[in-house]
A and B are shown apart, each in its own frame.
Chain A
Amino acid sequence: MTQLSSIDYSIPEVAAELERGPKWLRDRRKLSRDAFNRTPVPPRGLHLWRYTDPMRFLFERGSVSDSAFDRDKDAVHQLGARYLRDGHLSAFVSDLAGRDVQIQTTEELTARSVVVSPLSEAVDQHRELVELYLYQLINQQTGKFEAMNGALWNDGIFVYVPNNTVVEQPIHLLREAGQAHSAQFPRLLVVVGKNAELTLIDEYSGGSTSTDDGITYSNGAVEIFGMQESRIRYVSVQRQAPGVQSYLTHRARIERGATMLTIPLAFGAAISKQNFGVIMNGPSADSKMYGLLFGTDHQQFDNHTLHHHAHGHTTSNIDFKVVLGDKATSAYTGLIRIDHNAEFCEAYQENRNLLLNPGTRADSIPELEILNEEVTCTHGATVGPIDPMQLFYLNSRGIHKPEAVRMVVSGFVASTLKMVSDDLRERITQIVEQRLEAI
């Protein structure tokens, strides 16, 4: 199989993507295309590429196709209707391989002028907002794979919450990946107005069930903007099938007095490389990130987080937890950046890695770029197996060893799950328990 080395018009489907949308968008796509073609594949020693082979995210030439999604679409839509009914949601969006976006919302949401729309429609209907914000945080300068998404995203999702509007129930986005030998580029743009409130669940699932049957390539980009005093909760759940090679870049920027809670959860895919970043751009902006990944088999995870204090008097906290079984590996790189003029910031970062098996491996790389001296900043990392004394304590009360392991791990992840709303917590707990049964 030939990997795609340049985005050009020799593939009709690629040509069609590049010509999609109004002129301003086509121009932006071409900037991204040129950047992708110009940028060499990152060498393995390069920052953030030490642990993952970039070739794994260059998809096969034939894999951009409008027929990427061959599953029963009705089934996904019915699932959405059920989620909407039982899940106490204000909207459910199904995004089939970045090509077919279906939206179900409550009337209440529409009445309050909240926009939940396919991105392909929003580029016309909400042009001012989309043109202003799309590509602002993730664009051709971010990196080769971000440029790839920038050129080829087909459809995506646009969410806009007007000023002073509180969306009480979560909006749930389900991004179903396409079949084996397909590539998709999901994109999400979220703009939350002043003093507005939003909870967003962004769930990535589906795709090839085994790399032996062929690979599903997924390359996503998420941009979130929180205006002054806004309150945003964003939960990302990656539970793609074992034949997916998954890449995701997330950037959020929040203004004065805004709070952002980001919960990145990763359980699926053969390889998963994710980069979550929040920029605090005004005084009293506060970002909290509670991450959890749980790997088994030969899964490979490479996660980055960024907390960028671009303004003084901002606060951030990261707690990123990793559980690995079988032969799974993880590398976590956590960067705290405090700008030169950003005084009196507070930044905390913790990364804990629990290894359930001697065949696992976890690397933890804290990075600090602190250009101002008037700050409080701490970071910590631990990597190790379950404390045998904890197991003995549970055993001494009659609890069998596998059950004792299960209890310690669920205890380890409990503080992260506590941050998630009840209905979602139940489902994530199920995923964690399925993982544990497989050990």
Chain B
Amino acid sequence: MSNRNPILEFKNIHVQVEGKEVVRGVSLTIRAGETHAIMGPNGSGKSSLSNALMGHPSYQITRGEAFLDGRDILTMSADERSRAGLFLAFQYPLAIPGVTVANFLRSALQAHRGKEADMSDFRKLLRAKLAELEIDENFVSRYLNDGFSGGEKKRIEILQMSVLNPRMAILDETDSGLDIDALKTVAEGINRFHNDTNGVLMVTHYQRLLNYVKPEYVHVMMAGQIVTSGGPELALKLEDLGYDWLEKEPAASTGA
């Protein structure tokens, strides 16, 4: 373990959806400069964990605590969590018809900075980020996610991340729906964003993205709990063997 400061730290998180417990006591600490991955089969609770940490109204955190840079985020509304530096790239980003990508990004940036974003500075920033992610400039005058392909939505999520430059980015199934070229571009975007002062948590079913964004720590989630943790080699083992072998082992490796 490095002695760097924790960016995101959560302990014994329990999450309910419609009265059903889907996350049952998950703890994790992500320090500055670290990249973590949570892997797990469908329905393991990893997306629920991500959404609950962001403050999604359908996901209730019933027990546990969570801190971003030492500040309790569970008492914050979703917009406060974002302004505090938390970012979630959604698995299924929603369309907002009539609101252009550019207007949306400018409003978000203004909310983060607490003041008007100068138009020419904003345009410059946006143009640079678009070039990095190989997104056509005309794209920003389209309505947010309205009629976008799966891959376009994911790129726009990463674009939002690079513009807002959060302390902690959680990426929920960001690789799904991407062809190999788009996957590489998105991975480059994540690598370019990541540095010694921020944290990245990738939530994914497959290890495909992990070929391009290398995590130092891999955690496996099943039935609402982390059942084992390890290094990058764990992801490769899952690639070869799937998740079945874990079900046969007791959940002892969580240290619970």
Which residues of A are in contact with B by a Cβ distance under 8 Å? 387-390, 392-401, 403-404, 407-408, 410-415
Closest A residue to B109 by CB, please name it: A398
- A393 interface neighbour in B77, B83, B93, B143, Cβ under 8 Å: B93
CB pair B111–A411 under 8 Å, yes or no, is no
CB pair A413–B98 under 8 Å, yes or no, is yes
Chain A residue numbers with a CB within 8 Å of B88 are 396
Beyond A388-B57, A393-B90, A411-B143, is A398–B96 a contact (Cβ under 8 Å)?
Answer: no
Chain A residue numbers with a CB within 8 Å of B108 are 394, 397-399
Chain B residue numbers with a CB within 8 Å of A394 are 96, 104, 107-108
Beyond A398-B83, A403-B111, is A411–B99 a contact (Cβ under 8 Å)?
Answer: yes
The 8 A CB mask of B68-83 against A (1 = contact, 0 = none) is: 0000000001110111
| Closest Cβ–Cβ distance, residue A422 to chain B (whole Å) | 16
Chain B residue numbers with a CB within 8 Å of A412 are 97-98
The 8 A CB mask of B36-62 against A (1 = contact, 0 = none) is: 000000000000000000111100000
CA distance A399 to B117 in the complex (A): 14
Beyond A397-B164, A403-B107, is A392–B143 a contact (Cβ under 8 Å)?
Answer: no
Closest A residue to B84 by CB, please name it: A398
CB pair A389–B94 under 8 Å, yes or no, is yes
Beyond A403-B107, A411-B99, A411-B143, is A396–B78 a contact (Cβ under 8 Å)?
Answer: yes
| Closest Cβ–Cβ distance, residue B203 to chain A (whole Å) | 15
CA distance A387 to B97 in the complex (A): 12
| Closest Cβ–Cβ distance, residue A292 to chain B (whole Å) | 12
Beyond A398-B111, A398-B164, is A393–B96 a contact (Cβ under 8 Å)?
Answer: yes
B129 contacts partner chain A, Cβ-Cβ < 8 Å: no
The 8 A CB mask of B92-123 against A (1 = contact, 0 = none) is: 01101111000110011001100000000000
- Per DSSP, are chain A's interface residues mostly helix, strand or loop, or mixed? helix
B160 contacts partner chain A, Cβ-Cβ < 8 Å: yes
- A395 interface neighbour in B82, B96, B98, B143, Cβ under 8 Å: B82
| Closest Cβ–Cβ distance, residue A206 to chain B (whole Å) | 31
CB pair B164–A414 under 8 Å, yes or no, is no
CB pair B79–A396 under 8 Å, yes or no, is yes
CB pair A408–B99 under 8 Å, yes or no, is yes
Beyond A388-B57, A392-B56, A407-B104, is A397–B82 a contact (Cβ under 8 Å)?
Answer: yes
CA distance A396 to B90 in the complex (A): 10
CB pair B93–A399 under 8 Å, yes or no, is no
21 A-B residue pairs with CB within 8 Å:
A390-B96, A392-B55, A392-B56, A395-B55, A395-B77, A395-B79, A396-B55, A396-B79, A396-B82, A396-B88, A398-B82, A398-B111, A398-B112, A399-B111, A403-B107, A408-B96, A408-B99, A411-B96, A411-B143, A412-B98, A414-B143
CA distance A411 to B144 in the complex (A): 10
Chain B residue numbers with a CB within 8 Å of A387 are 94
Centre residue among B88, B104, B112, B160 by max chain A CB count within 10 A: B104
CA distance A390 to B57 in the complex (A): 11
Chain A residue numbers with a CB within 8 Å of B83 are 398
Chain A residue numbers with a CB within 8 Å of B90 are 393, 396
CB pair B78–A400 under 8 Å, yes or no, is no
Chain B residue numbers with a CB within 8 Å of A388 are 57
| Closest Cβ–Cβ distance, residue A415 to chain B (whole Å) | 6
Closest A residue to B78 by CB, please name it: A395
CB pair A407–B79 under 8 Å, yes or no, is no
CB pair A415–B79 under 8 Å, yes or no, is no
Closest B residue to A408 by CB, please name it: B96
CB pair B98–A392 under 8 Å, yes or no, is no
Beyond A388-B57, A407-B104, A411-B143, is A399–B79 a contact (Cβ under 8 Å)?
Answer: yes
